[in-house]
Amino acid sequence: MRKNVLIVGAGGVAHVVAHKCAMYNDILGDICIASRTRKKCEAIIESVLRKKHMKDPSRKLYSRQVNALDVPALIDLIRDTKSKIVINVGQAFINMAVMDACLETGAVYMDTAIHEEPDKVCENPPWYANYEWKRKDRFKANAQTAILGIGFDPGVVNAWCALAKKDYFDTIDTIDILDVNAGSHGKYFATNFDTEINFREFKKVWTWIDRKWVLQKVHSIRMDYDFPVVGSQPVYLTGHDELHSLSKNMDANSVRFWMGFGDHYLNVFKVLSNIG
């Protein structure tokens, strides 16, 4: 029996998820993309069809409008679409609402980023323990799956760390995650991901050093690293989602996340921060 998939959100990540799910729709079944703005969902569907990424053309790919903070509406949508898998790729503010809807319907829950409350910026760690992990017992009692952080970072990097721990190292002292983007879309200023979340992330730097949480100033610790392909790039110590799970699961003394920023980005960011 095919599972049917509900994709919540219609931004850049949802675009990628929809294309990939369509490539495996012979296994996944029908795919519904739902968001506040339905025309964004339709634009993704048009892209999938134009690129002929529907492996099984007989399956449905369609859209619905939904307010993802409205749990009863989400519950109705999951049931109406007969979705067994919900992939949450909306803004980080909706995680708990989507999780609760999944708990009510029995659907598998997946997301790519940690939950945030609109009025709380860079909360005290560990972030997952503040929200998602509080639902763990309920998912376990239901024999129900929830997978947090299924993107690249968090996601793939967590899998690599787990593989390293399992197959390659007796002990691990320090984990350094280096994230750099040397691309350019020709704009005067652009963030690497959702602008609001990006700016909220750079208020404080929580990092895991010597088995304790340490607070640092934003963009205050720099390292230059010679990467394959893109060469030497400056990276700055930054807080990030996976620190809050790897610090719990990896038994490492320190876990650090470094993100690449050019001088122009930092100058514009500083001006915007000063303006408020």
Q: Round to whole Å and give the CA distance between 231 and 111.
A: 32
Homologous superfamily (CATH) for 5-147: NAD(P)-binding Rossmann-like Domain (3.40.50.720)
The answer to whether the bond into 72 is cis (omega within 30° of 0) is no
Residue 233, beta-bridge partner list: 225
Residue 32: alpha-carbon gap to chain centroid: 19
pLDDT at 181: 83
Over residues 68-100, the pLDDT tens digits come to: 999 999 999 999 999 999 999 999 999 999 999
Residues of the chain below pLDDT 50: none
Grouping H, G, I as helix, E, B as strand and the rest as coil, residue 38 is helix
pLDDT at 1: 58
**Residue 223 near residue 213 (C-beta atoms within 8 A):** no
Q: Round to whole Å and give the CA distance between 215 and 62.
A: 45
Helices H, strands E: what count in the chain?
A: 11, 12
- Please state which CATH number belongs to domain 167-275: 3.30.360.10
Over residues 39-69, the pLDDT tens digits come to: 999 999 999 999 999 999 999 999 999 999 9
pTM: 0.92
Domain positions in the chain are 5-147, 167-275
pLDDT at 272: 86
